[in-house]
Structure 1
Amino acid sequence: MDDEADGLGSGGRQLFDEMSLEADSYELTSLIIETCRVKDRLDLCHRVLTGEKALWMRLVPSRGDSTVLEVRIDAAAAEARQLLTVYRQMLTDIKRRRADDVDPGAGGYDNPLDDL
């Protein structure tokens, strides 16, 4: 297990295990880790959008007035759309970098992103 990937959630951890290769450069490994973090954020947005009330709304003091409470509702749908765009771009970048790293004369290796 990579020390930098220790803080990942279950979805991010699974993605990291599927995508990372021992031969990956540090640059590619860090991109994979960030992609896995985005995956974890998308998983959290999904939980928010599917109704885990404690995740999408909270009571907070109104502008410093502790006697008045405001209900804060997160914009999870908009955030999920933005994260999904970033996630797709990151996966595409990883796939491109993997293709660039393969030496055509050496037979290459199986790219876990080929099925995307």
Structure 2
Amino acid sequence: MPSEDVLNLDAAGRRLYDDLAAETDPYSLTTLIVEAARTKDRLDKLDQLLRGEIETWAVLVHDLRTEDYELKINSAAAEARQLASVLRQLLAEIQRQKGDGGGPDEQSDDLAGLTGT
């Protein structure tokens, strides 16, 4: 398992990592778990931004070629939706690899032995 300083996770990401990671996990699974934890931390930061707790929602950019200024608005809501979807996919894959997913493949196997004869 990676050391805590290598992971550089915030509190929520660390909790998710601690909940999912095991010493016996293969490296490929540990990589998914680390990415899920980082994604959780990013989602929390985007949530803070959307609630107004962080004031970096816009940036004033100076174009030196034209001396114009441009206000760039952060698309935090769209990014949060995308990251939430990514986190769901990562967690589903982690559960599948750990064998406790209960996903569609396992459900269809239960019906595989049934015949209409």
Aligned to 1:30, the other structure's residue is in SS state helix
2:81 corresponds in structure 1 to: 81
Distance 1:66 1:43, change over 3 A: farther
- Alignment identity in percent? 44
CA RMSD after TM alignment = 2.1
Instruction: Name the structure 2 match of 1:3.
Output: 3
Aligned residues: 99
Q: Where does the alignment leave 5 or more consecutive residues of structure 1 unmatched?
A: 101-116
Which residue of the partner structure matches residue 71 of structure 1?
Answer: 71
Q: What are the superposed Cα offsets for residues 21-49 of structure 1, whole Å, 9 maximum, x if unpaired?
A: 11111111111001111111111110110
- Mapping for residues 23-62 of structure 1, pairs under 5 Å: 23-61=24-62
Residue deviations 1:44-97 (CA, integer Å, cap 9, x gap): 110110013522112221x32585432221000000011111100000000000
Query: TM-score of the superposition, structure 1-length normalised?
Result: 0.75
Question: How far apart are 1:3 and its partner, in Å?
Answer: 2.6
TM-score, normalization by structure 2:
0.74
**2:103 alignment partner in structure 1:** none
Q: Structure 2 vs 1, CA of residues 78 and 12 (structure 1 numbering), >3 Å: closer, same or farther?
A: same
- One-letter amino acid matched to 1:59: L
Q: Report the Cα distance in structure 2 between the residues aligned to 1:87 and 1:36, rounded to whole angstroms.
A: 9
- Show structure 2 runs of 5+ residues with no match: 101-117
For residues 8-27 of structure 1, the aligned pairs below 5 Å read 8-27=9-28
